Amino acid sequence: MAKYFDVHPDNPQPRAIGQIVGLLRDDALIAYPTDSCYALGCRIGNAGGLERIREIRHLGNAHHFTLVCRDFAQLGQFVQISNAVFRLVKASTPGSYTFILPATREVPRRLLHPKKKTVGVRIPEHAVTQALLAELGEPLLSSTLLLPGQEEPATQGWEIKEELDHVVDAVIDSGECGTVPTTVVDLSEGTPEILRVGAGDPTRFE
């Protein structure tokens, strides 16, 4: 049965954040809110958590997972960024964008796109997510919480608790979350390619 945490959306309670991060360090898989929609997340080194996300979402090997980073400095440890790409990404973070970029050696091979050796990265603008990342001290390996057969992600923590009670270890409820996932921009070749139009304004990359 998943643990349920009611966390204030603007002023997250340090005790609750500490408990959730403790679970993450013990290789828990959590459902948590972001500035676009709910996501599934675990530590980067949690290989079992990665497979659980694949099972829950019915994902294939070519799916791009996302490293949700606290800030630009942390993001730069995990992806290779040219000067031109740096300016584009910097101007769009934090925000509702996921960027596909070549991964550095810091990223485990199992997280990479099998052919391109790329990974998704993003910096969210959500107080609860930022509090988790600050306490954890590393990115969260994440994927949008969109279940097979669903048109839109779930928006309410209690609904997610009911539906995923036996397949995740914790659910964070911070009030209603958005239903629109991030805008995904592939910058791995240097020229922006919009792979998915979502919550972030895509015009700056067109």
Q: Which domains does the chain have, with CATH numbers?
A: 3-205 (3.90.870.10)
User: What's residue 117's pLDDT?
Assistant: 92
Residues of the chain with pLDDT under 50: none
User: What's residue 153's pLDDT?
Assistant: 82
Please enumerate in sequence order all residues whose Cβ is within 8 A of that of 98, keeping only pairs 6 or more positions apart, or say none. Answer: 64, 66, 120, 121, 122, 182, 183, 184, 185
User: What's residue 66's pLDDT?
Assistant: 96
Q: Are 45 and 159 in contact (CB under 8 A)?
A: no
User: What's residue 46's pLDDT?
Assistant: 96
Q: Label the pairing between strands 140-144 and 39-43.
A: antiparallel
User: What's residue 178's pLDDT?
Assistant: 82
Residues 45-92 have pLDDT tens digits of: 999 999 999 999 999 877 889 999 999 999 999 999 999 898 999 999
User: What's residue 103's pLDDT?
Assistant: 96
The burial of 83, by beta-carbon neighbours within 10 Å (0-12 exposed, 13-18 middle, 19 or more buried), is given as exposed
173-201 in b/e form (b: 16+ CB < 10 A) is bbeebbeebbbbbbbbeeebeeeeebbbe
User: What's residue 163's pLDDT?
Assistant: 93
**Cα–Cα distances in Å, from 20 out to 25, 59, 110, 138, 173?**
9, 25, 25, 14, 12
User: What's residue 154's pLDDT?
Assistant: 79
